[in-house]
Structure 1
Amino acid sequence: MTLGSQIAWDDTVLPFQLDRSDIRGRIARLDGVLDSVLAQHDYPPVIEALVAEMALLTALIGQTIKLRWKLSLQVRGDGPARLIATDYYGPSKDGEPARIRAYASYDKDRLDEAGDAFAQIGKGYFAVLIDQGEGMTPYQGITPIAGGSLRACAETYFAQSEQLPTRFSLSYGQSSVPGGVESWRAGGVMLQHMPKASPHATGGGSGEEGLLAASDIVEGDDEENWNRANIHLDTVEDLELIGPSVQPTELLVRLFHEEAPRVFDPQAVKFGCTCSADRVRQSLSIYSAKDIAYMTTDEGRVTADCQFCGAHYEFDPATLGFQATKEP
Structure 2
Amino acid sequence: MTIGSKLAWDDTVLPFQLDHSDVRGRVARLDGVLEGILSQHDYPPAVEALVAEMALLTALIGQTIKLRWKLQLQVQSNGPVRMIATDYYGPEEDGQPARIRAYASFDRDRVTDGNPFDQVGDGYFAIMIDQGMGMQPYKGITPLAGGALRSCAEAYFAQSEQLPTRFALSYGKSREAGGEEHWRAGGVMLQVMPKAGAHVSGEGGSGEGGLLSASDLVEGDEEENWNRVNFHLDTVEELELIGPSVAPTDLLVRLFHEEQPRVFDAQPVRFGCTCSEDRVRQSLSIYSAKDIEKMTTEEGLVTADCQFCGAHYELDPKSVGFDAEDPPGES
Q: Aligning the two structures, in what range does the TM-score lie when normalised by the shorter sequence?
A: over 0.9
Normalised TM-score (structure 1): 0.98
Query: 1:3, CA displacement in angstroms?
Result: 1.7
User: Where do 1:226-245 residues align within 5 Å?
Assistant: 226-245=226-245
Query: 1:201, CA displacement in angstroms?
Result: 4.4
> What amino acid does structure 2 have at the position aligned with 1:94?
D
What residue is the counterpart of 2:121 in the other structure?
122
Identity of aligned residues (%): 75
Q: 1:89 to 1:107 in 2, by over 3 A?
A: same
User: Where do 1:202-241 residues align within 5 Å?
Assistant: 202-241=202-241
Give the secondary structure class of the aligned counterpart of 2:215.
Answer: helix
What residue is the counterpart of 1:156 in the other structure?
155
Structure 1 contact 21–226 (Cα < 8 Å) conserved:
yes
Q: 1:205 to 1:78 in 2, by over 3 A?
A: same
**1:276 and 2:268 aligned:** no
> What amino acid does structure 2 have at the position aligned with 1:164?
L
Instruction: Tell me, in whole angstroms, the C-alpha distance in 2 between the residues paired with 1:211 and 1:306.
Output: 36
Instruction: Tell me, in whole angstroms, the C-alpha distance in 1 between the residues paired with 2:194 and 2:249.
Output: 24
Instruction: Tell me, in whole angstroms, the C-alpha distance in 1 between the residues paired with 2:159 and 2:143.
Output: 10
**1:167 and 2:166 aligned:** yes
**1:48 and 2:48 aligned:** yes
Residues 198-245 of structure 1, C-alpha deviation per residue, up to 9 Å, x if partnerless?
453442110000000011111111111111010000000001011211
Gaps of 5+ in 1: none
Residues 103-130 of structure 1, C-alpha deviation per residue, up to 9 Å, x if partnerless?
0000011111x22210110110000011
Corresponding residue pairs, total: 327
Structure 1 contact 50–118 (Cα < 8 Å) conserved:
yes
Normalised TM-score (structure 2): 0.97
What residue is the counterpart of 2:108 in the other structure?
108
What residue is the counterpart of 2:318 in the other structure?
318
**1:97 and 2:97 aligned:** yes
What residue is the counterpart of 1:131 in the other structure?
130
Instruction: Tell me, in whole angstroms, the C-alpha distance in 2 between the residues paired with 1:300 and 1:13.
Output: 46
CA RMSD of aligned residues (A): 1.0
Instruction: Tell me, in whole angstroms, the C-alpha distance in 2 between the residues paired with 1:30 and 1:201.
Output: 38
Instruction: Tell me, in whole angstroms, the C-alpha distance in 2 between the residues paired with 1:284 and 1:327.
Output: 12
What residue is the counterpart of 1:85 in the other structure?
85
What residue is the counterpart of 1:306 in the other structure?
306
